[in-house]
Copies of this chain bind each other. A is one copy, B any other.
Amino acid sequence: MYSFKFQNPTKIIFGKGMIAELSKEIPRDKKILVTFGGGSVRKNGVYDQVVAALKNHTFVEFWGIEPNPKYETLMQAVELGRKENIDFILAVGGGSVVDGSKFIAAAICYNGEPWDLIQKRIKVEKTIPLGTVITLPATGSEMNCGAVISRKSTMEKLVLSTPLNYPKFSVLDPEVTFSLPKTQVAAGLIDTFIHTMEQYLTYPVDAKLMDRWAEGILQTVVEISPRVMDIRPDYDSMANYMLTATMALNDFIAMGVPQDWATHMIGHEITAFHELTHGYTLAIVFPQLLRVMKDEKREKILQYGARVWGITLGDPDDRIESTILRTEDFFRSLGVKTKLSDYGIGEDTINKIVARFEMRGTVLGENKTITPDKVEKILRLAL
């Protein structure tokens, strides 16, 4: 097991009706910028609950943070927040609204060009404190300090990460997920699954407990999926879905283990060029990445196959391929496609992604062995 440091100060407020707790969690003397996405929270009652909880607070609203939140949009919120002198941000929405709000929180406090915090990786020295009400379980952003931000003008999708951006609190009410479109739920389940994989499916370091906990998330996602995808899901299944999404990316399963993240990095590029939903890109990339990297990942693929899918018999190479097929089947059982061509994406995009990685000198994976030519191989298998 590797040495590590761990600290996650976010408070989780979990359960039915918990949005009302906002009134106690945010100090009365704060001026709040409440950030939203496209407006679904007006239909499912979340907006009304938030406004009711904040009836004794002062707040301004910013609407329109889009999926894969854009620098161009977020800078409008930065302007509003500065003008209104806000000193707390409440993000109400899915991972995109939370990620976007983390950028806003850092950008408001930064005197230079905020994009430099991302692209030039300038250290974030100060942020506005942030709370969240999460409406779409998927990214884990409600309990981590990362954010993925896109820029339209350059077709880039990059990461901002600072410990200052751990939310002070996040409200998780499983009831708000009942009205989600099943396409989004499917993407959220896959995102949760692959977040876990990025921290688990690497090489063994004898981190027995972390392996068990990662497998526990994978097993739970597989087990709850039919109920969660049902047109009338039950509360406990949605509660397990919500909790699992948060626990998959809050460092709880990352203690002392190597991490991969190549599937995400390649997936981000597909989204950057085609606006394809993040979770869908992961379902395309991950199985082929396993095929290309199967020698390096051999032991953990076999362990994953045995413990999550019960694949224990036969030649190891056959078991590896069976495990990958089983994983693809699982994604498809959620109604999600696993090929680039399913979305009309072809060689053109592959060439652009590979060229970009070559230009940046990008090498990916837990061993930094996923060179641009391997990325090309992965994406060609996914055609």
| Interface residues in chain A, defined as those with a beta carbon under 8 Å from any beta carbon in chain B | 1-18, 205-210, 212-213, 215-217, 219-220, 223-224, 235-237, 239-240, 243-244, 247, 252, 255-256
Q: Which of B1, B17, B236, B240 contacts A236 (CB 8 A)?
A: B1
Give the Cβ gap from A311 to chain B, nearest Cβ, in Å: 18
Judging by beta carbons under 8 Å apart, are A13 and B18 in contact?
no
CA distance A224 to B207 in the complex (A): 11
A111 to chain B, nearest CB (A): 28
Chain B residues with CB under 8 A of A219? 212
Q: Would you call A209 and B3 a contact (CB within 8 A)?
A: no
Q: Is the CB of A14 within 8 A of B8?
A: no
- CB-based contact A207/B12 at 8 Å: no
A6/B15 contact (C-beta < 8 A), A207-B240, A209-B243 known: no
Q: How many copies does the complex hold?
A: 2
Once the chains bind, are A3 and B14 in contact (CB under 8 Å)?
yes
Kindly provide the distance from the CB of A202 to the nearest chain B CB, expressed in whole angstroms: 16
User: Which of chain B's residues has its CB closest to A21's CB?
Assistant: B5
Q: Which of B3, B209, B217, B247 contacts A240 (CB 8 A)?
A: B209
Contact of A14 among B5, B14, B224 (CB under 8 A): B5
Asked if B11 contacts A5 (CB within 8 A), the reply is yes
Instruction: Tell me the smallest distance from the CB of A247 to a CB of chain B, in Å.
Output: 6
B243 touches A1 (CB 8 A): yes
With A216-B215, A220-B212 already in contact, the answer to whether A206 and B236 are too (CB < 8 A) is yes
Task: State A220–B95 Cα separation when bound (angstroms).
Answer: 33
Decide if A216 touches B206 in the complex (CB within 8 Å): no
Q: Are the CB atoms of A255 and B236 closer together than 8 Å?
A: no
In Å, the complex CA distance between A255 and B220 comes to 15
| A206: chain B residues within 8 A (beta carbon) | 236-237, 239-240
Complex Cα spacing A12 to B7, Å: 6
**Which residues of chain B come closer than 8 Å to A252, judged between CB atoms?**
252
Contact of A216 (CB < 8 Å), options: B7, B18, B216, B244: B216
Q: When the two chains form their complex, are residues A7 and B10 in contact, meaning their CB atoms are under 8 A apart?
A: yes
Residues of B within 8 A of A215 (CB): 212, 216
Given A4-B14, A7-B12, A18-B3, verify A239-B212 contact (CB < 8 Å): no
Alpha-carbon distance A217/B13, docked complex (angstroms): 25
- Across the interface, do A6 and B12 meet the contact criterion of CB distance under 8 Å? yes
A216-B220 contact given A12-B6, A15-B2, CB 8 Å threshold? no
Report the minimum CB–CB distance from A10 to chain B (whole Å).
7
In the complex the two chains form, is A7's CB within 8 Å of B11's CB? yes
A215 shortest CB reach to chain B, Å: 7
Least Cβ–Cβ distance between A43 and chain B, in angstroms: 24
Task: Identify which of A2, A13, A213 gathers the most chain B CB atoms within 10 Å of its CB.
Answer: A213
Q: State in angstroms the CA–CA spacing of A217 and B10 once bound together.
A: 23
Q: A12 to chain B: closest CB distance in Å?
A: 4
Closest CB pairs A-B (n = 10):
A3-B15, A212-B216, A7-B11, A206-B236, A6-B12, A1-B239, A9-B9, A209-B220, A208-B220, A208-B240
In the assembled complex, the CB of A223 is this many whole angstroms from the nearest CB of chain B, namely 6
CB distance from A200 to the nearest CB of B (A): 12
Give every chain B residue within 8 A of A9 (Cβ-Cβ): 7, 9
CB within 8 Å for A256 and B212 given contacts A7-B9, A240-B206: no
Instruction: Report the separation of the CA atoms of residues A14 and B256 in the bound assembly, to the nearest whole angstrom.
Output: 8
Complex contact B6–A11 (CB within 8 A)? yes
